[in-house]
A and B are shown apart, each in its own frame.
Chain A
Amino acid sequence: MASIGQTASLPHALPARSKGGSGVWVTTREAFWIALEALRAHKLRSFLTLLGVVIATTTLIVVMSLINGMNLYIADHIANLGANVFIVHKYAWAQGYDAWLKARRRNKPILIEEFEYLRDGLKDYKNIGAEAETQTINTSARYQNHSVYYLDIAGVTPNMIDIGQVKVASGRFVTESDYQHESLVCFIGQDLVDAFFPNVEPLDKEIMVNGIPFRVVGVAEKIGSTFGESQDNFVQIPLTTYRKLFSPRPSLEVNIQAWDAEQMTILEDQTRALLRARRHTPYREDDTFGINASDTIMEVWHQITAAVFGVTIAIVAVFMVVGGIVIMNIMLASVTERTHEIGIRKSLGARRRDILMQFVIESSVMAGVGGGLGVLLALLVSTVVNLLVGPGFFNSSVPLTAVLVGLFLSAGVGLFFGIYPASQAAKLDPIEALRTEN
């Protein structure tokens, strides 16, 4: 009994501050384990308490994942015009509804003469090509007794194979010679191969396009589908042939390719200047055409996602605040329940800050666990979405920043809303607290 039982022989001097470092760390770890234990002891109550935080975190992460996935999808499938390519067309593709109404009245299609004007007037570009597309409503293609409807019939300049996104799988593209001679040749998409030539070599076969015979000279690589619509349902023919047979003055998409991103901006400006001059557009009036590049498309998309994200933030904030208030109330009840315990701790030497830390850490840990649950739930939702919507559409991919933001935000909410109950606990008079019955 001697070593442990003897009382101290020297007075314990009161230090200027308590034995700082290890003391705070030790009580922090103790508080951490107490928090987890409290969660485990009252699972249902804890879960209900955390519901607000869980929902908020899940919402935040799911939305960010969907937006992330869509960003990638849009960038790949829609905004992807090719490296350093911009497209001059009658319309600007990414504009508001009102702007589009105005454009419908005012804008004029890009005609073949304007294409040639640009081709001759612009300097130092890498490539310039043109494409004309039909309305798909009345189109059909036939081979033997198979038919395909609603296909794109596109008239192209031969260099479009270098500028556009289409690649040659077999055979060849339309050539300069085909272009000069207005030949009846076509370059077909994979959907036509699947429909007409499943087991047979497509090259040199003759198909009827809107009743006109064309010879297949090449096959495109499969592209896939965008928003559920197949991108492989097309034939491409020389633009000259197109003008002769389908539409004498088609509305063109002029594809201009620059050598690098910087030059692309310069070319865009030059194009705008040239066309406005040629069309005698007065200084104050808007363009009567559209210059489309992937950044303008992505910009509109980003406006949409920003709006969605803004709404999401509002929803998440509401849930977090509600969740935080619930946590605060539960912690207040918990403090009341554990008044006696607090009295015991204080009688053993717990200072105000020890009690404060204990309860603040408890509410932070609790909220952090809620955030963790929210992350797991979001991962689950993300996986389910991917399974349902499938690889043909887009992938919801959970960004790491979302997870970290969710966790820290949850813990922060727990910390903030836990301060009031914790300070109430810290202020308890030990004598009163010990008198309280449990």
Chain B
Amino acid sequence: MPPDGVIIKAEDLWKTYDMGEAIQVHALSGVSFEVDRGEYDAIMGPSGSGKSTLMNLIGCLDTPTRGSYWLNGQLVSELTDDELAYIRNREIGFVFQTFNLLSRASALHNVELPLIYSGMPAKERLERSEEALRKVDLADRMHHKPNELSGGQRQRVAIARALVNNPSIILADEPTGNLDSATGEEIMGVFARLHEAGNTILLVTHEHDIAAHAHRIIHVRDGRIERDERIE
């Protein structure tokens, strides 16, 4: 059991795919690292480096072939699908490159979705969701649908959704990939504010300019950690 204050402890994570006829592809080959509470880290690497696979493992969308992963003191690397879903609901706040909002639902409904899967009753859900949207300065747009919002606004809705269930970590996969540079900077500003408030943030990116916003960059290449760089 990792000591208190360690949010993520990854120990010798492997992810192997069987391509048939005894051919195996190792997307990750023995990745180990730790993340403390309140860190702002970036995971950086070119495409094919295994950073997406690592992100899927950290985000509990998948389990490693070998190795152990403790999230917030809990060993999650051997959980069942339903248990993983529960962890994703309570512990992980995803922010995706393509926003991944439900296009036929309002901003408010999108934000309350994790709370619906938590089984929270309607009144409390609405309060929390409205609060989350207020924190990202979108309270006046809560009944708009995604196609009525700009790219930056959509990403902010996604961030509100990520926060609404008080997760342990916020996991952002190329959060500015579909935004112009000005809007991108805006969003990175939101992340900075979230970090100052005490959230643990993990960015996954292949761009150095984005990774530079973090205080630590974990360089990944060919399924291994190449370098673990602390910057201030």
Contacts and interface: CB of A to CB of B under 8 A. Distances in A.
A22 B197 CA distance: 31
Contacts, number: 132
Interface string B71-94: 011100001011101111111001
Contacts of B166: 4, 6-8
Interface stretch (B115-123, B180-188, B208-216): B115-123
Contacts of A2: 197-198
Contact of A7 (B102, B117, B161, B200): B200
A339 to B, nearest CB: 13
Given A1-B194, A12-B90, A23-B118, A6 B199 contact: yes
B85 A346 contact: yes
Given A27-B116, A348-B89, 8 more contacts: A4-B164, A7-B199, A12-B72, A345-B117, A349-B85, A349-B90, A350-B117, A351-B81
Given A8-B72, A23-B119, A351-B86, A434 B198 contact: no
A11 B96 CA distance: 25
Contact of B100 (A18, A19, A37, A344): A344
Contacts of A77: none
Given A341-B102, A349-B89, A351-B85, A11 B135 contact: no
A23 B86 CA distance: 12
A347 B100 contact: yes
Contact of A30 (B7, B116, B193): B116
A179 B103 CA distance: 91
A131 B104 CA distance: 78
B13 to A, nearest CB: 16
27 contacts: A4-B131, A4-B164, A6-B166, A6-B197, A8-B72, A8-B167, A11-B73, A14-B74, A14-B83, A18-B86, A18-B119, A22-B120, A23-B118, A23-B119, A26-B119, A27-B119, A30-B116, A343-B100, A346-B88, A347-B61, A347-B100, A348-B113, A348-B114, A349-B117, A351-B82, A354-B117, A431-B62
B172 interface: no
Nearest to B170: A7
Interface string A322-350: 00000000000000000011011111111
Given A6-B199, A11-B74, A431-B61, A349 B118 contact: yes
A27 B91 contact: no
B58 interface: no
Interface string A345-366: 1111111111000000000000
B145 interface: no
Nearest to B166: A8
A430 B61 contact: yes
B37 interface: yes
B57 to A, nearest CB: 10
A96 interface: no
Nearest to B5: A9
Nearest to B121: A22
Interface string A415-438: 000000000000000110010001
Interface residues of B, number: 56
Interface string B157-201: 000010111111100000000000000000000000110111110
B118 A7 contact: no
A353 B86 CA distance: 12
Given A5-B198, A344-B100, A351-B82, A26 B91 contact: no
Given A1-B193, A4-B131, A22 B86 contact: no
A41 interface: yes
Contacts of A24: 119
B163 to A, nearest CB: 6
Nearest to B1: A11
A348 B61 contact: no
B56 interface: yes
A155 B184 CA distance: 105
Contacts of B198: 2, 5-7
Contacts of B169: 7
Contacts of B101: 344
Contacts of B164: 4
Interface in A20-40: 20-24, 26-27, 30, 37
A187 to B, nearest CB: 75
